[in-house]
Structure 1
Amino acid sequence: MEAGGTLRRSGPVASFVDTNVVVYCHDHGSEEKRRVAVALLSDPPDRLVISTQVLSEFYWTVTRKLRPPLPDSAAAEATRHLAALPLVTIDGEIILSAIDTAQHHQLALWDAMIVEAAVRSGCDRLLTEDLTDGQEIRGILIANPFAA
């Protein structure tokens, strides 16, 4: 990791992956999105980055909101698997930057934290369905992998 907490990248450009994409890997009620998400997460692990926020949201979502929910043990194992990816830790600096980004771009704080984690990671693309496909925020291209 470089000074300021930026992940050092070498080789092909990496994508930051939002919670909704990894949740769809386990959502059997949305088969097409599940297929797309599984294919995306089959990329080489060094081309994908997540954050501690994604890890915690993933576990909560798949055990509480997903129908049927994953058993706690399966969700914990899936979370451990995700934690092996390059990981950005959400810290005070990211939160404060996210507050500014949320105000400037009229985003929910949680979405702005994901954007700021993507900035910190050195990625140039954020895979999410929560923001506008094709939009650029803070130098990060928003890409909805489920857009038709």
Structure 2
Amino acid sequence: MSDRFIDTSVILYLLEDSDKADVAEAVLSGGGVVSVQVLNEALANCRRKANMNWDEASIFLNGIQDLCDVCDLTEDTHVLGRALGAKYGFSVYDAMIVAAALTNGCTELLSEDMQHGQIIEGGLKILNPFRDKM
């Protein structure tokens, strides 16, 4: 598995026609890890915001799954996520993303939604891939 976990926010920029879409494409071309939660969040946005039908959303997400390793959500991930949320003040969904990254041995979490440069539990660094490229 890769040492980079990719948050939903990065994936969703692929749906835009913008400089951020180019950055997201470059990030994803290097592979990474996503969780089932990330796929679910992306699916919800494909359907609701991008107005994709089920087939279109499936094709889009199959492409993500071809580029990234997908990790399961487990009870251990959930328990860790609750502890991280309480400790660091994350939202519920961000806490579960961080927990999935840690549980799967990732050292980088690529996200636009969290504090750039923050180190979690001494081993996971949050990086905003759009920060220096815009």
Q: Which moved more, 1:93-102 or 1:74-83?
A: 74-83
Equivalent residues in 2 for 1:69-148, closer than 5 Å: 69-84=51-66, 85-138=68-121, 139-148=123-132
Q: CA RMSD in A?
A: 1.4
Aligned residues: 130
1:14 deviates by 2.4
Q: d(CA) in 2 for partners of 1:106 and 1:14? A: 24
1:82 deviates by 2.1
TM-score (structure 1 length as normaliser): 0.82
The percentage of counterpart residues that share the same residue type is 32
1:137 deviates by 1.2
Equivalent in the alignment of 2:38:
54
Please identify which structure carries the higher helix content. Answer: 2
Q: d(CA) in 1 for partners of 2:15 and 2:110? A: 17
1:33 aligned onto 2:15 = no
Unaligned runs of 5+ in 2: none
1:74 deviates by 1.5
TM-score (structure 2 length as normaliser): 0.90
Q: d(CA) in 1 for partners of 2:42 and 2:116? A: 22
